[in-house]
Amino acid sequence: MNTEKSETGEGKKRSGDVIVETVSRVMVPFIQLFALYVIMHGSSGPGGGFQGGVIFGASFVLLVIAFGIVNAGDRFPEAVNTALFSTGVYIYAGVGLLCIICSFGAAQYLNYGFLSLPVHFEERRALGMDFIEIGVGITVMAVIAEIFFNLAWKKEEDEGEE
């Protein structure tokens, strides 16, 4: 990347290639829809919260690569990402604790069947699994996006100092 920048010179932040921008703009909603599908079908097939979260985070990474890292700081502030991955952990831990609370201490942590939902035992188990997957997916999505932004933003800061 350094060699490309020295070749083009001019200190241009990004080239603004129309093919890359159009393709990523068209593809990102489908990638995110596929990520949601993977998260919701994780209990009954291949996939799950981790894989869906990685795909969702990768869609943000693609968006940032295509449209330049400079403007991404306003769209994805670090405080929102921190709140998101805390929210995912709290959903996971909260559903787990709710199983103990709803059964008055009779069931184990994450024993979904004892959640007090107005459906059958097996449906409660499937729904609890889906809640857990949603929590894992939110956490993984925020962490993937945050790792990539931290790796890429440091470069911009260094260039600003030079």
Partner 1 sequence: MIIPIDLILLSLVVVLAIVAITVRDLLSAIMLLSAYSFLMAMVWVEMHSVDVAFTEAAVGAGASTAFLIAALSRTVRWEKK
Q: Which is nearer to partner 1, 57 or 135 (CB)?
A: 57
* Site track 115-144 with partner 1 (rule: CB under 8 A), x = hit: -----------------------------x
Alpha-carbon distance 26 to 32, whole Å? 11
CA nearest 125: which of 44, 51, 33, 37? Answer: 44
Choose, by CB under 8 A, the member of 74, 151, 161, 162 that binds partner 1: 151
Give the residue among 37, 39, 30, 86 at the shortest CA–CA distance from 63: 30
| Interface pick for partner 1 out of 32, 38, 39, 139 (rule CB under 8 A) | 38
CA distance 60 to 45: 25
CB of 78 to partner 1, least distance (A): 16
Is residue 59 within 8 Å of 33, Cβ to Cβ? no
* Residue from 1, 19, 26, 79 in contact with partner 1 (CB under 8 A): 1
Residue 117 or 152 with smaller CB distance to partner 1: 152
Q: Collapsing DSSP states into helix, strand and coil, what is residue 39?
A: helix
How many whole angstroms separate alpha carbon 140 and alpha carbon 59?
13
| Contact status: 13 vs partner 1 (CB under 8 A) | no
Which residues neighbour 123 within 8 Å (Cβ) at sequence distance 6 or greater?
117
CB of 62 to partner 1, least distance (A): 8
Binding residues vs partner 1 (CB under 8 A): 1-3, 38, 46-48, 50-51, 54-55, 57-58, 61, 65, 144, 147-148, 151-152, 154-155, 158
